Structure 1
Amino acid sequence: MTQGKDTAGRFDHLRGALREFPPLIWSFLYFFFLLTGYYVLRPVRDAMGASGDIEAVFPRALVDWASARGWVLGDLTLQLLFTGTFIAMVLLQPAYGALVSRYPRRVFLPVLYAIFIACLFGFYVVFGKEIPGRGAAFFIWVAVFNLFAVSVFWSFMADIYSDIEARRLYGFIAAGGTAGGFLGPLITRALVHQIGVPNLLLVSASLLAVCVFCILRLGRWARLREQSRGQTGGEQAMGGSMLAGLRLLRDVPLLRAMAVLMFFGVGVGTLLYNEQAAIARLYYPGDEARTAYYANIDLAINLLTIVVQVFLTRPLLVRFGVGPVLLLPAVAILVGFAALTASPLPLLVAAVQIATRAGEFSLSKPARETIYTRVDRETRYKAKAVIDTAVYRGGDLFFVWAHKFLAAFGSAAVFATGLAVAGAMTFGAWRLIREQARLPSRPD
């Protein structure tokens, strides 16, 4: 009986928040459609990354060039894909910085999503014609799209909500993304055999078009929030250098702590991801079967995530602040990697993978994003983008090659290193907690 009352109370909080904050429903829908569109694509991306058809992944000229030198690209697929992703992130940072600096929010947000939609139509043609090298191009593009789109989403939310409101509402908003993450793999699993991979890209493009509509609806609330803060710059070009994010990352201790947490947090996930890819390549050689396999894993992760977001994230953030919400997932990962070091069983690897990603999405991510409500716009859009993209993919790049070296010594060596990486991530979380305590409650 008590459990039923607690559950009703949680949904009473949600209903009350919807009445008190009308933009919450549009924020929820924005994140829902964004991650539904991404999770339609993610199993396709992962299947290409684990594909045994090397000419589907890499351009034929690169395959021939490597073969002439006795190199087997299939043994380095993920390492090369992660390297290409990092290079793409670094090259795109100045372009993103220029877009944010020169155009107001009402322009650069829709334009960014329009570019993503146009790219999906391009990949529809590429996949339909089975052009060699489509796998690498798509893998890199999806990684770039996900990080930039999600980073910009949370930057926009920080324009709309204050710190106190973010603690109350970010769990609910994140649950919208998780619901989308739950639906996306279902769509992929249900449709991939009926309509094929190319048409799945058009499904994702239509979902991103809905995101643009949500952005336009939320623009009014962002302007009202800034007026209540006495700010007028939200609808004007931000100005400043296109590389200002890198300068801020160098100079601000808070951002350095955020980068340390991000870098080593990515390391934990990358070590697990590579083990998962090896298993998928061995047991699911076909593209459709491998895509369905990844979709099932995503479903399990998103189911756990949405339960935590609805019932735990809000009360933890409101009552205790970001500290415990950042440290709890870090400690869970430490325990998980310690268990894997002692007994690297496949089922345990899957369990730690689910706990790691669910903890990131339901607790760590909302906690980090509330901190950005207390910084200025340049930090929010430029420095945050550097951390969420270049630092993130830099961690991917470093640890994917580290895994290649460690794999020669067996799973125990991989997971023992992962335990040390998890310790460094926990240290980064502790430093971030200390630095954010020095911030004002409002950015102005």
Structure 2
Amino acid sequence: MPAPLQRPREALRRIPRSTRAPLVWAFLYFFFLLTGYYVLRPVRDAMGASADVAAVFPTSAIAWFGARGIDLGDFTLQVLFTGTFVAMVVLQPLYGALVSRVPRRVFLPVVYLLFIACLVGFYFAFDSGLPGRGAAFFVFVAVFNLFAVAVFWSFMADVFADHEARAVYGYIGAGGTLGGLLGPELTGLLVGSLGVANMLLISAGFLGLCVLCILMLWPHAGRRTRAAGDAETIGGSVLAGLRLVAREPLLRAIAMLMFFGVGVGTLLYNEQAAIVRALAADDAVAAVTFYSRLDRYINWLVLVIQVLLTRRLLARFGVAKVLLIPAVAVLGGYALLAASPLPILVAIVQVATRAGEFSLGKPARETIYTRVAPEWRYKAKAAIDTVVYRGGDLTFVWLHKALALGGSHVVFGVGFLVAAAMTLGAWRVGREQAKLPA
């Protein structure tokens, strides 16, 4: 067997037997979760790029803006991102109330069952061609992605201790990457024969499997919770997550890293979309093919890094240095783009940016939450992963609209400054997390 393939097998053998069973269930959990999400993502992207304004927005909204001389079709993404942020702000206190008052063994399945119920409702909306379904679905998928993934990693911090997390998070992330490869393939193979509405039911089925994985992982989480002396019900204020972020230097640093990290991604995504529209304005098939290939390259690169490098880098260099790797790569990529914004270079930097985040940045950040109190894991983390994340989206999607008037050089020049702020945030997170107990 080739040496590169022997290393992960040898590393798996060194994982204690007591950790192997939860690793398998966590791997399957993340695989099912991201398969279900990536089944939905092409439907969401189609709604965001749809020229059928009536399918995206309610008839009353189209008429209201039209009477004031505003064509909603010219601001589709900006309006959808704004709606997503508002939804996050409204839902964050409700999520905080659920976390405060309901035991984790109850609210974890409840969150997923609520998402399943929503998907069943959207099935009827798409099946009947309900006007305005696109905007509601776009916002729902964005909320689902952030809350469901945030809950997943919070739960993993309950299941695995810090030293275990450094050993297994790369493999767990690979499960999600495999789901990210399978989901779009399922949609591409089945949507033509089953239709869009039935794809939502397939996604709901994968979420049902996530609930099964939660139930299988709960005994492992319960043992660690009792050993750490943590209460099963977190308690506290429903807005405690936002207050913790405002008060704690480490959480503020993570929020800064998240905000500007989202910024570099949003500027790159919107500029790339503008380039694709210019190059393939009358060829929708070419545009879809380009995006599908891009996602495929990203997910395969993420999978290779997660299996071969993530565990070794975290174990050898620690969280602080690993966080700086994708940040410095993004900084260098934006420097190149500011000098020469070629379409092929935009695609290469997009692949490097997203692959670095999913394979190194996110696993490194998530290991930090294994060393903090449950209220940090479930409240502060959710606030950062939802309100701060979508606040960054909202800020930079409108900023790009203004910067684009000056051309790509202006967009990427400002993007370089945003990437520098992201790198500073990564350094601050590394410094602050070093103060936590081992």
Q: Identify whether the pair has TM-score above 0.5, normalized to the shorter chain.
A: yes
| 1:223 Cα offset (Å) | 1.0
| 1:233 Cα offset (Å) | 1.5
Q: How far apart in 1 are the matches of 2:63 and 2:285?
A: 27
Q: How far apart in 1 are the matches of 2:190 and 2:391?
A: 34
Compute the TM-score of the two structures, normalised by the length of structure 2: 0.96
Give the corresponding residue for 2:247: 251
Aligned match for 1:320, one of 317, 334, 340: 317
Written as runs of structure 1 = structure 2, the 5 A alignment for 1:22-421 is 22-229=21-228, 231-234=229-232, 237-279=233-275, 281=277, 283=280, 293-421=290-418
Compute the TM-score of the two structures, normalised by the length of structure 1: 0.95
Give the corresponding residue for 1:432: 429
Q: How far apart in 2 are the matches of 1:385 and 1:188?
A: 29
Counterpart amino acid of residue 320 in structure 2: G
Contact persistence 1:43–1:294 (CA under 8 A): no
| 1:368 Cα offset (Å) | 0.2
Contact persistence 2:7–2:308 (CA under 8 A): no
**Aligned pair in 2 of structure 1 residues 232, 406: CA closer, same or farther (>3 Å)?**
closer
Q: Which range moves more in the overlay, 21-30 or 288-297?
A: 288-297
CA displacement, residues 136-182 of structure 1 (integer Å, 9 cap, x when unaligned): 11111100000000001000000111111111111111111111111
Q: How far apart in 1 are the matches of 2:274 and 2:78?
A: 13
**Aligned pair in 2 of structure 1 residues 198, 276: CA closer, same or farther (>3 Å)?**
farther
CA displacement, residues 67-108 of structure 1 (integer Å, 9 cap, x when unaligned): 111112122111111100000000001100011111001110
**Aligned pair in 2 of structure 1 residues 241, 122: CA closer, same or farther (>3 Å)?**
same
Counterpart amino acid of residue 243 in structure 1: L
Counterpart amino acid of residue 10 in structure 2: D
Contact persistence 1:340–1:415 (CA under 8 A): yes
Q: How far apart in 2 are the matches of 1:194 and 1:141?
A: 25
Structure 2 gap segments, 5+ residues each: none
Give the corresponding residue for 1:13: 11
Q: How far apart in 1 are the matches of 2:35 and 2:250?
A: 32
**Aligned pair in 2 of structure 1 residues 18, 177: CA closer, same or farther (>3 Å)?**
farther
CA displacement, residues 352-384 of structure 1 (integer Å, 9 cap, x when unaligned): 111111100000000000000111001110000
Q: How far apart in 2 are the matches of 1:143 and 1:286?
A: 27
Counterpart amino acid of residue 335 in structure 1: G
Contact persistence 1:43–1:295 (CA under 8 A): no
- Identical aligned residues as a percent: 64
| 1:278 Cα offset (Å) | 3.1
**Aligned pair in 2 of structure 1 residues 239, 20: CA closer, same or farther (>3 Å)?**
closer
Structure 1 gap segments, 5+ residues each: none
Q: How far apart in 2 are the matches of 1:293 and 1:384?
A: 34
Q: How far apart in 2 are the matches of 1:198 and 1:96?
A: 28
Q: How far apart in 1 are the matches of 2:108 and 2:316?
A: 33
Q: How far apart in 2 are the matches of 1:137 and 1:252?
A: 35
CA displacement, residues 377-436 of structure 1 (integer Å, 9 cap, x when unaligned): 011100000000000000000000000001111111111111110000000000110100
Q: How far apart in 2 are the matches of 1:140 and 1:287?
A: 24
CA displacement, residues 197-249 of structure 1 (integer Å, 9 cap, x when unaligned): 111111100000000000000000001112333x1513xx2111000001101
CA displacement, residues 309-355 of structure 1 (integer Å, 9 cap, x when unaligned): 00010000001101221001011111111111111111111111111
Q: How far apart in 2 are the matches of 1:98 and 1:280?
A: 43
SS at 1:240 equivalent? coil
Contact persistence 1:47–1:291 (CA under 8 A): no
SS at 1:272 equivalent? helix
| 1:18 Cα offset (Å) | 7.1
Contact persistence 1:44–1:291 (CA under 8 A): no
Q: How far apart in 2 are the matches of 1:183 and 1:15?
A: 27
Q: How far apart in 2 are the matches of 1:232 and 1:372?
A: 14
**Aligned pair in 2 of structure 1 residues 182, 303: CA closer, same or farther (>3 Å)?**
same
| 1:131 Cα offset (Å) | 1.4
Q: How far apart in 1 are the matches of 2:368 and 2:235?
A: 23
Contact persistence 1:330–1:425 (CA under 8 A): yes
| 1:290 Cα offset (Å) | 5.9
SS at 2:386 equivalent? helix
Q: How far apart in 2 are the matches of 1:71 and 1:214?
A: 48
Aligned length: 436
| 1:7 Cα offset (Å) | 2.2
Q: Which range moves more in the overlay, 382-391 or 64-73?
A: 64-73
